[in-house]
A = this chain, B = another copy of it.
Amino acid sequence: MTRYQALAAEIADSIRTGVLHPGDRLPSVRQARASRGVSPSTVFQAYYLLEAQGLIRARERSGYYVAEGARQLPPEPEAASQPEDDAVPLDVSEHVFEILESTMVRDVVPLGSAFPSPLLFPLARLGRIMASSVQNLDPWSTVDDLTPGNARLRRQIALRYLADGVQVHTDEIVITNGALEALNLCLASVTRPGDAVLIESPTFYAALQALERLGLEAIEVPTHPREGMALDALERAIQRHRPKACWLMTNFQNPLGSLMPDAKKKALVELLARHQVPLIEDDVYGELYFDDKRPLPAKAFDTQGLVMHCSSFSKCLAPGYRIGWAAPGRFTRAVARAKLTTTLGASAPTQNGLATYLEKGGFDKHLRKLRRALAGQQTLLAQAIAEHFPPGTRATRPAGGYFLWVEMPGHVDALEVHRQALAQGISVAPGPIFSAQRGFTNCLRLNYGHPWDERAEQAIATLGRIASRRPGAA
């Protein structure tokens, strides 16, 4: 933690525990500097962070004040999950598909959606750049940009890895139709039907669907809502199940929002390397951090080419463009060939347009704005949960991404909440869809990737009422 993060965390704590009350004035920069012996810029950065989190507000010419409602954040869940240490038959049922499809309907309040609002993205500027790029498209790029993909785009991606301190060569990058294809290709490249694969608990449902499609066994590993997969449990699962791959999200995991600390990432990579288990790392939310620096991927600690890093532009720049990539280490050739024989390549004009956008610059400026918006929306959602959900409800406070995970009291049936909410035009993602074992029956994944408004506030109030009904009272 940097100095300003420590200061911000300390002040946030004071607010949440009631030492500071809504409306209280925070120390001026001069006072804080004097009393804590930190630089003015540290104080400014801490206050900006707290403001982005919705905990404090600036009033013109009079300094910073604790925001109204800032105290009401739900407590965080503390315990790691405890899935059965056995494969259960994978059967992503019709029902689950229906739930997922219900979250894609336009008129529903999209708390269950997998996507952030497209209005948060620079689609107008992207469109202008795409427009110019597509009119200058080299006809031969329609062949040249097939797998492994457009050379300029792959170079831009490699440059971003470099800036983040991760060694990935342009030649390792395979452009895909979004991260989902990258993940599926990586999984197919290291497994055969019947193999065991380790996943988080809860896990992104697409992992369950991919495992089922490929005839693989899902072993769910205990996962902590703040720090991700438990490494001791992971090691036991490796020894017991001899898995052919481990698939997880290190940064702002879907659905928990957990962020694995760097030291733990390093230990994870070393543990898997000792057992020669490939890691399929889904890092699509890595750019959506609320702190000051992009969290490293596990890939940064890979020395053996065993980490297959997958990401995309769909969540951070260009939703619907369907451009992602894999950096699959020693499996690069296999992944490229799997891509070549299943979908051949990604759209050439789209690849060219994105490459030009990245070359022109402006991506980081957009990202800063996007992160601020998401951080603020998280606070507003969390506050609404604290106000409307029944006592005993807990919610994660992810340091990035656009999902949080709500644990309602144990008797609340998330599938029933989903059904009743949908009847009132509100989607949620109920816990059981995130587990082959259909656990997490009292949990919801909620999306704060949409600008907060009165409709969202009302939807949370409705959800809270549904969740507060006595069991059996329909």
**Residues of A participating in the B interface, judged by any CB pair closer than 8 Å:** 92, 97, 100, 104, 106, 115, 118-119, 121, 123-124, 127-128, 130-132, 134-137, 139-146, 176-178, 180-181, 184, 188, 193, 206, 209-210, 213, 215, 319-323, 337-338, 340-350, 353
Question: In whole angstroms, how far apart are the Cα atoms of A346 and B314 in the complex?
Answer: 12
Contacts of A130 in B (CB 8 A): 130-131, 134-135, 349
Is the Cβ of B213 less than 8 Å from the Cβ of A338? yes
Is the Cβ of B210 less than 8 Å from the Cβ of A143? no
Oligomeric state, in copies: 2
Contacts of A184 in B (CB 8 A): 342-343
Least Cβ–Cβ distance between A282 and chain B, in angstroms: 14
User: Across the two chains, which residue of chain B brings its CB closest to A205?
Assistant: B341
Least Cβ–Cβ distance between A235 and chain B, in angstroms: 30
Question: In whole angstroms, how far apart are the Cα atoms of A146 and B206 in the complex?
Answer: 15
Is the Cβ of B104 less than 8 Å from the Cβ of A143? yes
Is the Cβ of A322 less than 8 Å from the Cβ of B347? yes
Is the Cβ of B178 less than 8 Å from the Cβ of A337? no
Contacts of A341 in B (CB 8 A): 92, 180, 206, 209-210, 213
Contacts of A121 in B (CB 8 A): 139
Interface centre among A176, A206, A213, A322 (most CB of B within 10 A): A322
Is the Cβ of B115 less than 8 Å from the Cβ of A139? no
User: Across the two chains, which residue of chain B brings its CB closest to A320?
Assistant: B142
**Pairs across A and B, CB under 8 Å, 20 listed:** A100-B340, A104-B143, A115-B143, A118-B139, A121-B139, A127-B136, A130-B130, A131-B131, A131-B132, A142-B320, A142-B321, A145-B320, A177-B344, A213-B342, A320-B345, A320-B348, A322-B343, A322-B347, A349-B350, A349-B353
Contacts of A128 in B (CB 8 A): 135
Is the Cβ of B343 less than 8 Å from the Cβ of A178? yes
Is the Cβ of A349 less than 8 Å from the Cβ of B337? no
With contact pairs A146-B320, A343-B181 given, residues A127 and B137 touching in the complex (Cβ less than 8 Å): yes
Contacts of A323 in B (CB 8 A): 347
Contacts of A188 in B (CB 8 A): 213
Is the Cβ of A141 less than 8 Å from the Cβ of B344? no
With contact pairs A115-B143, A343-B180 given, residues A123 and B106 touching in the complex (Cβ less than 8 Å): no
Question: In whole angstroms, how far apart are the Cα atoms of A347 and B321 in the complex?
Answer: 5
Is the Cβ of A118 less than 8 Å from the Cβ of B106? no
